Structure 1
Amino acid sequence: MTSDSIRNFASPDALDERKFVVALARGLELLRAFRPGEVLLGNRDFADRTGLPKATVNRLAYTLTTLGYLRFDEAAGKYALDTGVLSLGFALLAGADTLELARPHMRELAREIGAAVSLGCRDGLDMIYLETIRSETALTLGLAPGSRLSMLTSSMGRAYLAVQEPAARAALLAELSAAAGADGAALVQAAEGAIEDFARDGCCYSFRDWHEDVNAIAAPFRDVRNGRWLVLSSSGPASSMGEAMFREVIAPKLRALAARLA
């Protein structure tokens, strides 16, 4: 695991390298290599996505398989996530009081506005969905729990950025720009525009930025139980749910729900 990868999960100022266990971090990075919808990954996939040498990948994959976090598929010659990961995920969700509190309110809001309502948090340089409630009255979009979003192009990521302290936000934007490559500067500029929206509206928007036919809005709130920022978002097809609906109809409702959950 490179020093850049480590900084994706903790700021350089917060990282105490004397206490940081690099081997453990590398093993967890292998588990993070799986993306939503993927079942099997091989050693080459792990090496490409983590930047780790193949010999290191082999040892880590063997260890994680022995401990029940990975399962080796003999026929395919690749690895799948095993029940150890599932048990950790269930333990997290079972202990998430805020998530249990939020679900009925999210369901009510999704029904009222006819759009998907989601709850997410930061994971490295991405945002990850913890829950999505789809409208029962209309065909709406909505990613499944565990799905990841770009912090720069998603309304959820922009809302998270908007509530960070200026110095921390600037450092994070620099990391995001570097990770985005040639498009980094333009993406950061768009995100900064959304942060200005937050100062005015208390919400951040993503109008066809994350996907060409998706409009979305997000509002952050502080989870006092766990001391972290969570973000509520709502999304729908841009072809049938225009910017005005998100700014004028959904924004006040989403802000009110975020305030209630905080």
Structure 2
Amino acid sequence: MSLVTVISETRSPMSFSELVQKSGLNKSTLHRLLAICTEEGLVQFDKTNKVYLLGPKVFDLVRNAYSGYDIQTIALGEMTQLHDQFGANVTLGVPSGFEVVYLRVIEGKFALGSTQRPGMREPMHCSASGKVLMAFLPEEIVASKLQGYEFTKFTDRTITDLATFKTALAKVRVDGFAYNDREEYDHFHGISAPIFNHLGEPAAVLNIWSLVQTHATDELLSWAPSLMAAAARVTGLIGGKAP
């Protein structure tokens, strides 16, 4: 694993002599390990340039890991802890085109009929979850997604233009979480934090929301560190990394 790590972290493929220097292994040990790794498909040898690269098996392992996990199951423990700690609604969402789709919802003690149900969708521009999922994408992807985007107005607080939305995304990147202040529904507000994949891109989002009459803005915002910590733990459990 140490050898595979050395090969994976280099900026360009290395020769045998470079691997000896970089790995700290003696020549006979390195030769034996390279033979094993090559046979197992973890490493491949480029005969033309006489250098070593990662083998196809490594990429198969990564692909299988990410296609095999159920993020609902992995995130449930953190969702439950947030629910028990704050008593508000906790949701798990994933991106779907220009919307957020919610996979799981744990209703708060004073839900009074939730607006978010499993399978429900929300537009990106008027939800905390949508802002988070957009804010941490590469700039090129954000620009592509927002080209011709329609900022539908739902309440007097809804963001309705591109410039204001970009400013909101910049704030999310600085804060590490997003706040939705009654931008889709007049009486609901929420905060969201990103769950990242191995590319450092947002793969999902944890969200806490409530009636403004039940939890004031200052109280809701004070929960952000706990929410971000929970999202970071889920990120680690799926092998992701923050950008």
Question: What's the TM-score bracket when you normalise by the shorter of the two chains?
Answer: 0.5 to 0.7
For residues 206 and 189 of structure 1, what CA distance do their matches in structure 2 show?
A: 17
- Give the direction of change, closer, same or farther, for the CA distance of 1:208–1:149 in structure 2 (3 Å limit): same
SS in 1 for 2:83: helix
Counterpart in 2 of 1:207? 181
Q: Does 2:166 correspond to 1:192?
A: yes
CA distance, structure 1, for counterparts of residue 217 and residue 83 of structure 2 = 17
Q: Decide whether aligned partners of structure 1 residues 247 and 189 sit closer, same or farther in structure 2, where only a CA change above 3 A counts.
A: farther
**Alignment correspondent of 1:151:** 124
Give, in angstroms, the shift of residue 243 of structure 1.
1.7
1:7-61 Cα shifts (integer Å, max 9, x gaps): xxxxxxxxxxxxxxxxxxxxxxxxxxxxxxxxxxxxxxxxxxxxxxxxxxxxxxx
CA offset at residue 228 of structure 1?
A: 5.9
Asked if structure 1 preserves the Cα contact closer than 8 Å seen for 2:126 and 2:183, the reply is yes
Deviation at 1:216, TM superposition (A): 0.8
Q: Distance in 2 between matches of 1:219 and 1:228?
A: 9
Structure having the higher Rg? 2
Residues 1-40 of structure 1: matches in 2 within 5 Å? Answer: none
Distance 1:252 1:185, change over 3 A: closer
**Distance (whole Å) between structure 1 residues aligned to residue 227 and residue 202 of structure 2:** 19
Match of 2:42 in 1: none
Task: Answer whether contact 2:126 2:159 (CA < 8 A) is retained.
Answer: no
Q: Counterparts of 1:55-94 in structure 2 under 5 Å?
A: none
Number of aligned residue pairs: 164
The answer for the alignment partner of 1:256 in structure 2 is 229
Q: Cα–Cα, structure 1 residues 120 and 131, in superposed 2: closer, same or farther, change >3 Å?
A: same
Mapping 1:106-121, distance limit 5 Å: 106-121=79-94
Instruction: State the identity %.
Output: 24
Query: Which residue is 1:48 aligned to?
Result: none
Name stretches of at least 5 consecutive residues in structure 2 with no aligned partner. Answer: 1-66, 236-243
Is the CA contact (8 Å cut-off) linking 1:117 and 1:142 kept in structure 2? no
CA distance in 1, matches of 2:121, 2:203: 16
Q: How does 1:88-107 map to 2 (within 5 A)?
A: 96-107=69-80
Check conservation: 1:116, 1:134, Cα contact below 8 A: yes
Q: TM-score, normalised by structure 1?
A: 0.56
RMSD over aligned Cα, in angstroms? 2.7
